[in-house]
Amino acid sequence: MGAGHDHGGQALRAGERHRSRLWWAAGLLAAFMLVEAAAALLSGSLALLSDAGHMFTDVLGIAMALAAIHAAGRAHTDSQRTFGLYRLEVLAALGNALLLTGVAVYVLVEAVRRFSDPPQVPAGSMLVVAVGGLVVNLIAFGLLRSGAKESLNVRGAYLEVVGDLLGSAGVILAAVVIATTGWAYADPIVAVIVALMILPRTFALARSAVRILVQAAPAHLDMTRVRDRLAAVPGVCDVHDLHVWTLTSGMDVASAHLSLVPDADLGSVLASAREALHDDFHIDHATLQAEPVTAGHRSCTPAGW
């Protein structure tokens, strides 16, 4: 017998709540990205170019988040997608991480090349553009901050904006150093620092996305505790074939077989088990199969996988 209850994904609802903020952040970042890229090409500043490239991935990341929200919102119209399209958010986050990695590697390679003969860049224009980038990123930071707590993909865009904030601060520092000392190495050095700041956050985002895609148990859950809690439900004598995975950020799913003692009340056991999963582990979607154990009825054989 199965038990569970359907609900909209928390991540989808979070995305819907923050859709307008995502649009505003994407628009601001896209407009300034073009300004910064043009300034980088005109000035020859690698630090500005790296910051513009990072900002480009911000825009792409937010665009993918918006596309995932839109697609997931339409998922209920397709009966073949029984789990909806929630995983699109996770795929978008993984794609975003790969893009960020590409940008960081390019900047590092170009910076190494420039160390042998760093070009002189106009510090004044570099400083003006960097300050503008800092202001735009502060606005985007404020727009995305609340949504980052609820959605993996919004969190990815938020982390990129945080990186851009630090990157803009670094470009400002490089411009000041070049203006006051004429030391041209400040530009490629800041570019390397920005690239190295990108990589750890990128790896963390990719790791979170891959963990969901391979259906590993959520990192914050102790599966032994989940099993013991279900086994402690009155009327349950054994728990097997327990699986817990994440469908998308904020939406954990569970399935389990519960062997029941003779004369156990099926409705009470299932209700108590669902309540335990919800209250203790915040699992709102569970499919539970109850297997009465009697003299003439053995419990189901556990699945081989």
Assess whether 76 and 110 both reside in one domain: yes
Confidence of residue 49 (pLDDT cuts 50, 70, 90): confident
pLDDT of residue 44: 85
**What is the tens place of the pLDDT at every residue in 178-233?**
999 989 899 999 888 888 877 887 888 889 889 999 999 998 899 999 999 999 99
Assess whether 130 and 93 both reside in one domain: yes
Assess whether 115 and 245 both reside in one domain: no
Radius of gyration of the chain (CA): 25
pLDDT of residue 1: 45
pLDDT of residue 76: 57
Would you say 228 and 234 are in contact if contact means Cβ atoms under 8 Å apart? no
Lowest mean pLDDT among 21-30, 196-205, 241-250: 196-205
**What is the tens place of the pLDDT at every residue in 110-133?**
888 888 888 888 889 899 999 999
**What is the tens place of the pLDDT at every residue in 274-298?**
999 999 999 988 999 998 875 555 5
pLDDT of residue 31: 94
Residue 299 has pLDDT above 60, yes or no: no
Rounded Cα distance, 34 and 37, in Å: 5
CA distances from 163 to 23, 146, 199, 200 (A): 20, 17, 10, 11
User: The domain that contains 152 carries what CATH number?
Assistant: 1.20.1510.10
Mean pLDDT (whole number) for 62-77: 67
CB atoms within 10 A of CB 273: 26
Residue 4 has pLDDT above 50, yes or no: no
pLDDT of residue 66: 77
Q: Which of 209, 212, 226, 223 is nearest to 277 (CA)?
A: 226
pLDDT of residue 71: 65
Domain count of the fold of the chain: 2
> Residue 70 class from Cβ within 10 Å (0-12 exposed, 13-18 middle, 19+ buried)?
middle
Assess whether 23 and 158 both reside in one domain: yes
Lowest mean pLDDT among 40-49, 156-165, 203-212: 156-165
User: The domain that contains 247 carries what CATH number?
Assistant: 3.30.70.1350
Q: Which domain holds residue 32?
A: 10-213
Q: Amino acid identity of 144?
A: L
Assess whether 134 and 266 both reside in one domain: no
Mean pLDDT (whole number) for 253-282: 93
Average pLDDT of the chain, as a whole number: 81
Assess whether 252 and 282 both reside in one domain: yes
Assess whether 178 and 233 both reside in one domain: no
Residue 14 has pLDDT above 50, yes or no: yes
Confidence of residue 8 (pLDDT cuts 50, 70, 90): very low
